[in-house]
Chain A
Amino acid sequence: MARIIRIFARGNTDVRDSLLWSRVGGVLEWNGINEVLRARHEGVIAKVRHETCPRIDLIPLPGETLCSPPQELSRRLPSGVHPIARQHRSALFDAPADVVVFSLQSAVLTSLARHRRDGWLFLPDAVDQWDPQSRAWLASECDNAGPAPMEATLVRLEQLIEAVRERLGASVLVYNLSPVVPGECTHCWLGAEDAIGLRVRRFNLGLMELSMRQDFSIVDVDRLMACAGAERLKVDMVHLKAEGLRLVAEEVVRILEQRGCFDATGP
C-alpha cells in the first residue's frame, strides 16, 4: 500500500509547476514531484493540495478574518486564476498536512489594489481582460497599493510558519526566487527604482535571515538555477523549463529526505 505524503502548497507558477504539473501549449512538460518520488522512494506518493496565492499577507492565520471585499462584489467582479472570493481565505489549517509549501513569488511580484473607503486589499487579476464597467469601478473605488513591503511580508511569513508548526506540526518549505531576468543588463541604478531582480535579491537575503529564527527550509531556486545555468533553464522571470522544474522538485524531495519525511516513522 502506498504511503501518502500530504503537501499543502500555497503559491503560484513556481510552486504549482514544480509540484503538480507544467503544460505548455497543451503539452505536458513536467509531471510534478511524483515523477521524482517514483524514482527515489518507491511506494511513496505525494498528494498535493494547491491554492493560488494572491499574496502572502492575504493568507489568514488560524482564527483570523481578514478584511475583504463584500460577497456581492466578489461575485460580480471578474476573476482570473485568483478568484476574489477566495483570495482572503485558505484551507491551510482545515486539514492535516505533512508538508506546507510557501513561496516568495507573490510577495516579490504582486501589487494589490486597496479599496479607498474600506481599506481592504485584493488582487485584480488579469485586469486587462476585465469588462469596461468593472475597470471603471476599479479606477473610481480603489488605489494601487503597490508591492508588498519586505519587512511586513517576512513578519507575516514568520507568523504563518509558527502557526503551521503549532497547529499542523508540518515541515515548512519556502521557495525563494532566481533573480536572473533574461535581457536585464542594468549596470547603474542612478535615479532608478529597484528592478525586479534587485527586489528578488533583497527578499532572498531576508528569507535567509528569517531561517535563522524559524525552523523551515528554503527551496533555493536561486542556487539551483545558478548552478545549472539560468539561461538554459528559465523561460522568463518566473517560468522554468521542464529541466528546471525537475531540479526544483528534486530539491524539494532532497529537503524532505533531510527532514525525515520519508523515514518509517514519518515526518
Chain B
Amino acid sequence: MSMYPLRMPSLSARPFGLLRSGLQWLRRSGDRVQAREPLAYCHLRLSGSRERHAIVPLAEDQHDLQVVLASPTAGTVECHADLSRGGYQDLVGSTDWDAGSIVGSIDSSEEPLELVALVLAGRRGFENGEGRGGLLAGWHERARGFWQGEGSDRFGTVLSLGTCEQTGIFRGDNMAFLSWFACAPGPAQVISIADERCVHSSAVLLQHIRRTPAEAVAIADAVQGWLGERLQQLPPDAFPAFEADASKGYVGGRWPHMQDLLFGMHLLGEAVGTCPILERNDVLTRRGTVQLKPPDAIALSLGSDLAPHFRHRRTGWMIAIHSFRFGDYIGPRLLEWLKRDFEPVRRTVSDIARDLAALAAEVEARTGAVLLVQNLIASSAVNRISNYAWLGPSFSESPPVIAAEANLMLYDLTRARNVSMIDSDALAADLGVRHVPDGTHASRELLEAQRGEFQRVLRAVGIPGF
C-alpha cells in the first residue's frame, strides 16, 4: 500500500468558465472509504459573458449546480481540510475550477485516477427561492444527477416521473442520486421530477406530449381567468395581518390566499412547459457542455393512474392531484375551482391500459424511449379478506381488486415493444410487505431491491451507462 494524491477531476462548461466554492468535506482524514464513495462537494457557477453567447448552458439549473467528488478507489483517505473555507465561500462558486489540484490522498495498492465527479443540478420551482445548504437543498421541480465516470461513450438517461415511491428509488435517502452513482459506471444521467404539482399519469402525460400551441393558450386563458377572479373577489378579511387587532402582533405571517394562487400558476407552468419526456438536457463533461437527446427511459408509477383526475370543462385540460394535497397543501379555493370548472374523471383499468399503450406508442415515435412502469404492490397486511361478497357492487372498486386487475393489465401491456414492468409487487412479496406497510412508502431494503431492479432492466434493454 502506498499513499497517492487525490486530484480534482477534469470538468468543463466550455465555452463558459466554471467557478467552484470551497469544499465541504463529507469524510474525515483516517476514514476508510469505498470506490465511488463521496468525499466532498462544492457549489458550481458558470462564468463568462452571457451577451456573447445566445444560449447559456444549463441555464435553468445554473443557480443550483453542485459537484460531488468521490473516491476513485477503496482506501483510507487524508483530506486537506484547509480547502474548506467556511461560511458563504463554501456555498457560492468564486474560484476557477482547478482540475489536477491535490485535495487529499489515499492509501491504495495502485495509483488511482483523479476523483470521480457527480454533478447535481436542480431546477428551482421558484428561481428566486434560495435554498442553499446540503446536497440539492431546496425545492426543485426537476433534479438531475449526471456523471461521466471513466467512460467516454454517450450518456444514457433515465427520467423518473413516478409518485413518491420513486423519489426514494431514484434520489435515495440523501436525495442526491448517490445510490445510482455508486453502481452505474456512466456516462449516465438520472432525472427526477416529482409529482408535487401534477401527478404524471398516462392520461396527463399523453395530453402533455400531444399539446398544441392553441391548447396551451386556452389553458393559460383558463388559469389567468381564475387567478384574476380570485384576486378580484378577495373577501373583506383577506389581509388578516392588517386587521385592527393585529397591529401589535398576529399569529402567523403568511398571506393565507397565496398558496392556491401559486399552485394554480405551477399547474399552468407545468402544463405549458416542455413535456419532460421531450426535454433535452445539458451536461458538463471533461471537455465542455454537451446537449443530450431526450431521455432514453421513462420510469412511471402505475399508482399515478389511480390518483384523482379532473378535466377542465372548457379546454379539456386533464390534471391529476393526489387527494392528500387538498386541504393543508393547496387550500380550499383551489378545490372550489376544481369543483366549478373541472369535472372529475373516473378512469377504469381499461382506460388506463388505453392511455398507457397510446403513450408508449407516442414516445416510441417521438424519441424512441422505453417506458419502465412500476406496478402496484397489491399485497397488503391490512386487507385480510377471505370472501369478497360483502363488498357488493363496490367489489370492482376495492383496492385489492383494482390492484390485481391493474397489474394484470400491465403484464399484458409489456407485450408492446417499448414497455417493461418493474415488478414491485413481487419484490415486496419476496421481502414481505412489512417493508411497505401502506403499499407505497417502502423501507430502505425494499427501495434498494427496487432500485436494483430498475438498473437490471435498464441494462437489459440496452440503455448505456447503467
Contact = CB atoms under 8 A, between A and B. Distances in A.
Contacts of A208: 388, 395, 400-401, 404
A166 interface: no
B380 interface: yes
A220 B426 CA distance: 16
Interface in B415-466: 415-417, 419-423, 426, 428-434, 453, 456-457, 460-461
B391 A201 contact: no
Contacts of B372: 187
A226 interface: yes
B71 to A, nearest CB: 32
B415 A189 contact: yes
Contact of B384 (A180, A222, A223, A225): A223
A222 B389 contact: no
A187 B388 contact: no
Contacts of A201: 404, 407-408, 411
Contact of A218 (B380, B387, B428): B387
B388 A227 contact: no
Contacts of B400: 208
B384 A226 contact: no
A218 B431 contact: no
A130 B299 CA distance: 50
Contact of A226 (B395, B404, B432): B432
B430 A188 contact: no
Interface in A194-213: 197-198, 201-202, 204-205, 208-209, 211-213
A215 B386 contact: no
B2 interface: no
B411 A212 contact: no
B381 interface: yes
B363 to A, nearest CB: 15
Contacts of B383: 223
Interface range for A: 35 or more
A231 interface: yes
A236 to B, nearest CB: 13
Contacts of B422: 187
Contacts, number: 109
A20 B343 CA distance: 56
Interface range for B: 35 or more
Interface string A217-247: 1111011011111111000000000000000
A202 B408 contact: yes
B380 A223 contact: yes
Contacts of A213: 389
A212 B388 contact: yes
B405 interface: yes
B432 A227 contact: yes
Given A204-B404, A218-B386, A226 B429 contact: yes
A30 to B, nearest CB: 20
B84 interface: no
A113 to B, nearest CB: 29
Contact of B414 (A184, A187, A215, A226): A187
Given A187-B460, A191-B415, A229 B431 contact: yes
A140 to B, nearest CB: 37
B401 A227 contact: no
Contacts of A231: 430-431
Interface string B298-333: 000000000000000000000000000000000000
A119 to B, nearest CB: 32
B385 interface: yes
A255 interface: yes
Contact of B388 (A198, A211, A222, A229): A211
A201 B400 CA distance: 12
A205 B434 CA distance: 22
A18 to B, nearest CB: 15
Contacts of B429: 178-180, 222, 225-226, 229-230
B379 interface: yes
A202 B409 CA distance: 10
Contact of A217 (B387, B428, B434, B453): B387
A188 B453 CA distance: 13
29 contacts: A178-B429, A179-B426, A180-B426, A180-B430, A185-B423, A187-B420, A188-B419, A188-B421, A188-B461, A189-B412, A189-B414, A190-B414, A201-B407, A201-B408, A201-B411, A205-B401, A208-B395, A211-B388, A212-B389, A215-B389, A217-B386, A223-B379, A223-B383, A226-B379, A226-B428, A226-B432, A227-B379, A229-B431, A229-B434
Interface of A: 178-180, 184-185, 187-192, 197-198, 201-202, 204-205, 208-209, 211-220, 222-223, 225-232, 255, 258
Given A226-B428, A227-B434, 12 more contacts: A180-B429, A187-B420, A187-B453, A189-B415, A190-B414, A208-B404, A209-B395, A217-B386, A218-B386, A220-B385, A226-B433, A232-B432
- In order of increasing CB-CB distance, the 7 nearest A-B pairs are A229-B432, A226-B379, A226-B429, A217-B386, A187-B420, A231-B430, A205-B404
